[in-house]
Amino acid sequence: MLIVCTKDPTIVQTAQNPASGSPTWGQLIVINVALNQAMATQSLIHALGQLGPNEALCFSAHGNDNEIGDAGGGVNDWGWTRADIATLLAHHAPMHYVGPILVHACAQNVSNFSAGLAVALQHLQSLNGVWIYGYNRPVAAAAPFPDPARMGQNVELQGTHVHFALQDRPLAAAPAVAGYRITFPSGHVVELPSGFDLEEARNILGLVAEGVLRERADGSSLQAVSPRSK
């Protein structure tokens, strides 16, 4: 599955051109450019719900070490941090998903988003064993897509293995509640579903604060969400 997570027409057209190698990734999903950030995220969740447990996944967008999405930082531009994508994968990818995943991010410099995504998934104790690939060189907007079956042998790619020992999962610091909502001063909200305890929620807040570019973590609040307010 190839998901285009940007409004950039060059990246969209490249993904839609069979000569780019995109057909080797199977289903192509281009998020509607008319959607706002929240709606685009819902579209991304819907796409992940269609992902097969053994299906390779590619995110195509602009990107840097901390975020993928649109190149700009305007109010109408999309952007997902490493923690955002990790949380979406943890809760919407198929159970026992084995990957692999490619972050096909247009960038003028080498981007380490893929490695950061693997670390974020390890913090979430999710997608154990999955390989996540990124490029070891700058990537143009019209760059072709590699063969998903040969990413491990592709010298232009660098892979990071999501690995954690199940016994290393931290004990809950507090009873799990219906969920948590992280609210930033700008109004941006990250919601964590039920099953997260307070310590895990704090870990996510730390990851989000580390990765969010356009929004500061200063003054952010972490509050429990009651079942009635969900």
The per-residue pLDDT for 73 is: 76
pTM for the whole thing? Answer: 0.72
The model's pLDDT over 148-204, given as tens digits with 9 standing for 90+, comes to 999 999 999 999 999 887 654 443 333 444 555 655 555 555 555 555 555 555 555
CA distance 208 to 222: 12
Residue with tokens 């609210």: 183
Low-confidence residues in the chain, pLDDT < 50: 168-177, 209-230
Domain ranges of the chain: 2-168, 180-224
CA distance 93 to 89: 5
The per-residue pLDDT for 164 is: 84
Sign of CA dihedral 10, 16, 21, 22: positive
